[in-house]
Structure 1
Amino acid sequence: MKYLQCLMYLLLLLGVPRLILAAEYFQIQVIDSESKRGIPLVELKTVNQILHVTDSNGIAAINEPGLMHQEVYFHVRSHGYEFPADGFGYQGKKIQVSPGGKAILKMKRVNLAERLYRLTGEGIYRDSLLTDADIPIAQPVLNGKVLGSDSVVNVKFKNRVYWFWGDTIFPGYPLGNFSVPGAVSDLPGQGGLPIQQGVNLNYFLDQNGFAKKTCDMPGPGPTWIDGLVVVRDDQGNERMFAKYVKIKGLLTAYERGLVEFNDQQKVFEKRKVFDFDAPLYPVGHPVKYEMSGHDYILFGLAVPLIRVPANPDALADLKQYETYSYLMPGSEAENWKVDRDESGALRYQWRKNVTPLTSELEEKLIQQKKLSKQEQYFQLRDIETKERIEIQNSSVAWNEFRGKWTMIGLQKFGTSVLGEIWYSEAASPLGPWKWGRKIVTHDKYSFYNPKQHPLFAREKGRLIYFEGTYTALFSGNEVKTPRYDYNQIMYQLDLSDPRLAAELFEK
């Protein structure tokens, strides 16, 4: 088997047509029964536990010598999709397997969001290459020598899209780039692919061809960034900034500050080390928002409740950061003071030097009898069950189709073991966020840190796009999906779906 594979790759290098090589493989494509699009991340397992996982075209290339020229049963499963069960409860199909043959299987999508493709890692279109299927992207099997990348941030800068990731692994050793690899892509319609087809990522590379470190801040441990934002200076020039943190141990931050991207060197440069005890600083996925005739950047994890004027000087000055809150300035942990008006109603204002509201903080206020459950800011509930949903982090964007602000949010770990993804909408990025609908879930697998992509929304926002990190981390699942684990997967959500009817969110 190894000899045959080596021979095939050698023939590819020598220019032998892919069609000849494809004759050695049996192609199974699994498609969405509604959209007819190939489904990535479908597991096809034989009776003797040989596992194949479909690529981003929904294709699995089968070349098992002992199973050729006979009927083979494949168990079929995929997160958020269903395959019909037989009388014994088995979900699968018996297929006549032969070299060069093809079969198509259909699955019903249960998730509201449709899985489109994998953006990072090795072998994104491996099986399509082996079976001579059409491939939309320029680097279908290995790009920047990246095998896996943690959470993404991205932004439009100088009319292109800049992408940056967390910890990233390479082929040569389990430890890789822990200092923010990056890439650039062209916008759809301006040299870039239509987003429903894929993204051609051009990584910033080091001298060895690896995705290079773009934010190598001094000090032990990884460097992570978030709060990635582009603002204009007084001369009208676009400038890109992010908050960096230095990490020790598992998840403990010990330093944070502001970095600016040098587009000539393709690296972030330190601009400011923040006071680590300051309660307000850039965090999460930023939102640009105009209030009272002034442009602001909103930051936040669960909800964007922190604001700062949209200019470089303000970004670097934590004294200019404010949060939307009813807590009194000067309040300290465990001794928060709640501001109320003459009638006893909570008085929300933009306040400096105040800890941002969180669901955990509000629970403590309730325990201290300073707040009632009906007064909580965080009141998001499941449209179906009416149960409260706690959001770990989210990505908020304006949507023209809805005329509302849309949230793609990760359910908080502890309230949802796997961190399921929810959709909500509101008249303001500040909320109130009343109702949510679950749009993505996984079976014993995590999918975290969702990033909505308003840059790529289609049909005036009817179709929106988001991605997240697919990983066994935090799931308790010790069986990691080959090639997909610890990588980014893109989803499409159709806001015309009647299960997402606008009136449901206005109750």
Structure 2
Amino acid sequence: MGSSWPATSRAGIDPYEVQVVEQGTGWPVPLVELRTTHQMRWVTDNAGRVALDAPELMHREVWLEIRSPGYGLPADGFGMRGVRVRPVPGGRTRIEVQRSSIARRLGRLTGAGLLAESQKLGLYGDSRESGVWGCDSVQIAAHRGRLYWIWGDTTLGHYPLGIFHATAAVTSLDPIPRAEPPVRIEFQMVTNAEGRPRAVAEMPGEGPTWLSGLVSLPDRQGRARLVSAYAKIKPPLEVYRWGLCVWNEERLRFEPLKVIWTKTDSDPRPPPVPEGHAVPWEDPEGRHWILFGNPFPFLRCPASFEAWQDPAQWERLEPPEHLLSAEGAPVQPHSGSIAWHPWRRRWVAVFMERFGKPSAFGEVWYAEAQSPLGPWGRAVKVLSHDNYTFYNPRIHAETLRSDSPVLLFEGTYSREFANRPEPTPRYDYNQVLYRLDLDDPRLAPAQSP
């Protein structure tokens, strides 16, 4: 019986390039899965590319199913969504997909192989690896002329157990000069003597350390102090201690300042602590505060190092239990952040919904208010996932401009808390960046007076 399969050489096969772009703009689309009928799968990198390199695909017609949150193709008569291609070694094709979400995906910020598929094709040879393969949600603060980025539990390549006491990096104050794909941020990671990322928040007590409420505050001498609340965790995900810590500029690590609460039978619930996302605010009387919320403010303190460490100066706030959608249905916030947008001249919020649909923890909403304390207007869904999680969305307040309607936010893309989805290679448990254009007419219900 004869064979029509193409012969391969010892040199291997030159990959076939597929680039996926957004219809209308031509922007590359990261996080698009291409799957064959025999269940091989590739996922586009930050430049929207994959390198098809399976020998059995070459010189024959191949169906590629297209899957991507917020992007896709119309279904054919059988309900299939995809395209036919005919790969040849060294060839290329371009697939246009339609964007259904209001938020536009710009790319992955953390993890390995941000541009790996393009590198297989001979592009972006200067792209450097951070050594981080996956990491939990980010805290960001401007401090002494640079941005400090702090992540939670971090996965490395050399062993399944990674870093569980926070990792850190610094960048310039303007790390994303163009809000267009492909995105690449030059992180300067805090590393050990071997050049590997290392922990920066090893606090006393068993279990992981999580940092929250990162902020830079002036002390009485006018020195900027980088500070954070910290939580100690025991299985399954229980906080048993809250404390405060301060960044040591010489040792490049956080050091404990004081313990605020430890769980006991007589004191089982923690008091409000300055955690979540820290936002500066000047009230109508000209007083300067730091608001702490996740997403909406639940605590405030005067904007000084001394007030931050003094619980007697913390004031409780009452965040809304829910917002209303444009259709009037209740939307219960779970996590997120707020910021002042100078173009809108409004406070804006991006948050994940608790027990949303179709994804229990993957539906993301946008809302506005005249004051960070509310009341908050109607909410509009800007991003949805089928069976995946996208939690702790964080607005990049440092990128907001008075002459631009652009708003950038990132969040943790993870299979955790979903119904056993197939993990997305490279993207799972990493931070993905999105863009909202606040002049999009679909946001109008959130922007009414």
TM-score by length of 1: 0.81
SS in 1 for 2:107: strand
Do residues 404 (structure 1) and 346 (structure 2) align? yes
Are 1:410 and 1:448, in contact at CA under 8 Å, matched by a contact in 2?
yes
Q: Aligned pair in 2 of structure 1 residues 160, 46: CA closer, same or farther (>3 Å)?
A: same
1:2-59 CA-partner distances (Å, limit 9, x unpaired) = xx99989xxxxxxxxxxxxxx8111000001132111111010011111011111110
Q: Which residue of 2 aligns with 1:239?
A: 225
Shift of 1:293: 2.0
Q: Which residue of 1 aligns with 2:260?
A: 274
Are 1:40 and 1:57, in contact at CA under 8 Å, matched by a contact in 2?
yes
Mapping of residues 359-378 of structure 1, within 5 Å = 377-378=320-321
SS in 1 for 2:306: helix
Distance 1:172 1:244 in 2: 27
Q: Aligned pair in 2 of structure 1 residues 69, 389: CA closer, same or farther (>3 Å)?
A: same
User: Residue 180 of structure 1 aligns to which amino acid in structure 2?
Assistant: A
Q: Which residue of 1 aligns with 2:92?
A: 102
Distance 2:177 2:395 in 1: 18
RMSD, aligned CA: 2.1
Shift of 1:414: 6.5
- Name which of 274, 286, 295 aligns with 2:278: 286
Shift of 1:264: 2.1
Distance 2:440 2:29 in 1: 19
- Name which of 68, 71, 74 aligns with 1:81: 71
Distance 2:446 2:409 in 1: 22
SS in 2 for 1:305: strand
Are 2:106 and 2:179, in contact at CA under 8 Å, matched by a contact in 1?
no
Distance 1:192 1:81 in 2: 23
Q: Which residue of 2 aligns with 1:29?
A: 19
Do residues 219 (structure 1) and 198 (structure 2) align? no
- Name which of 295, 298, 305 aligns with 2:291: 298
Q: Which residue of 2 aligns with 1:339?
A: none
1:73-98 CA-partner distances (Å, limit 9, x unpaired) = 11111011121222222111111101
Distance 2:103 2:112 in 1: 24
User: Residue 305 of structure 1 aligns to which amino acid in structure 2?
Assistant: F
Do residues 321 (structure 1) and 302 (structure 2) align? no
Do residues 442 (structure 1) and 385 (structure 2) align? yes
- Name which of 170, 174, 178 aligns with 1:194: 178
- Name which of 302, 308, 319 aligns with 1:309: 302
User: Residue 240 of structure 1 aligns to which amino acid in structure 2?
Assistant: L
Distance 1:499 1:84 in 2: 21
Shift of 1:209: 2.4
- Name which of 394, 397, 408 aligns with 1:465: 408
- Name which of 138, 146, 155 aligns with 2:141: 155
Distance 1:236 1:175 in 2: 41
Q: Which residue of 2 aligns with 1:123?
A: 113
Shift of 1:281: 1.4
Q: Which residue of 2 aligns with 1:204?
A: 190
Shift of 1:299: 0.8
Distance 1:92 1:478 in 2: 21
Are 1:305 and 1:430, in contact at CA under 8 Å, matched by a contact in 2?
no
SS in 2 for 1:319: helix
Are 2:110 and 2:135, in contact at CA under 8 Å, matched by a contact in 1?
yes
Unaligned runs of 5+ in 1: 9-22, 325-356, 359-376
Q: Aligned pair in 2 of structure 1 residues 458, 57: CA closer, same or farther (>3 Å)?
A: farther
Distance 1:179 1:379 in 2: 33
SS in 2 for 1:506: coil
SS in 1 for 2:150: strand
Shift of 1:411: 0.6
SS in 1 for 2:80: coil
Are 1:80 and 1:442, in contact at CA under 8 Å, matched by a contact in 2?
yes
Distance 1:75 1:459 in 2: 41
Are 1:193 and 1:199, in contact at CA under 8 Å, matched by a contact in 2?
no
SS in 2 for 1:93: strand
User: Residue 231 of structure 1 aligns to which amino acid in structure 2?
Assistant: L
Q: Aligned pair in 2 of structure 1 residues 504, 312: CA closer, same or farther (>3 Å)?
A: closer
Are 2:136 and 2:154, in contact at CA under 8 Å, matched by a contact in 1?
yes
Q: Which residue of 2 aligns with 1:329?
A: none
Distance 2:356 2:177 in 1: 38
1:253-295 CA-partner distances (Å, limit 9, x unpaired) = 1111111111222101111111345622101101111122211
Shift of 1:198: 2.8
User: Residue 429 of structure 2 aligns to which amino acid in structure 1?
Assistant: Y
Distance 1:441 1:391 in 2: 15
Q: Aligned pair in 2 of structure 1 residues 499, 414: CA closer, same or farther (>3 Å)?
A: closer
Q: Aligned pair in 2 of structure 1 residues 210, 379: CA closer, same or farther (>3 Å)?
A: same
Distance 1:255 1:378 in 2: 25
1:368-394 CA-partner distances (Å, limit 9, x unpaired) = xxxxxxxxx4451111x2101000122
Q: Which residue of 2 aligns with 1:456?
A: 399
Q: Which residue of 2 aligns with 1:63?
A: 53
Q: Which residue of 2 aligns with 1:255?
A: 241
Distance 2:215 2:77 in 1: 55
Distance 1:88 1:271 in 2: 63
After TM superposition, which residue ranges in structure 1, 4 or more long, deviate above 6 angstroms? 4-8
- Name which of 28, 46, 50 aligns with 1:38: 28
Shift of 1:195: 4.6
Structure 1 or 2, whichever has the larger Rg, is 1
Are 1:152 and 1:164, in contact at CA under 8 Å, matched by a contact in 2?
yes
Shift of 1:412: 1.3
Mapping of residues 476-487 of structure 1, within 5 Å = 476-487=419-430
Identity %: 38
After the TM superposition, which of the residue ranges 398-407 and 296-305 deviates more from structure 2?
296-305
Are 1:187 and 1:193, in contact at CA under 8 Å, matched by a contact in 2?
no
SS in 2 for 1:66: helix
Q: Aligned pair in 2 of structure 1 residues 485, 131: CA closer, same or farther (>3 Å)?
A: same
Q: Aligned pair in 2 of structure 1 residues 6, 54: CA closer, same or farther (>3 Å)?
A: farther
- Name which of 363, 367, 382 aligns with 2:325: 382
Are 1:138 and 1:200, in contact at CA under 8 Å, matched by a contact in 2?
no
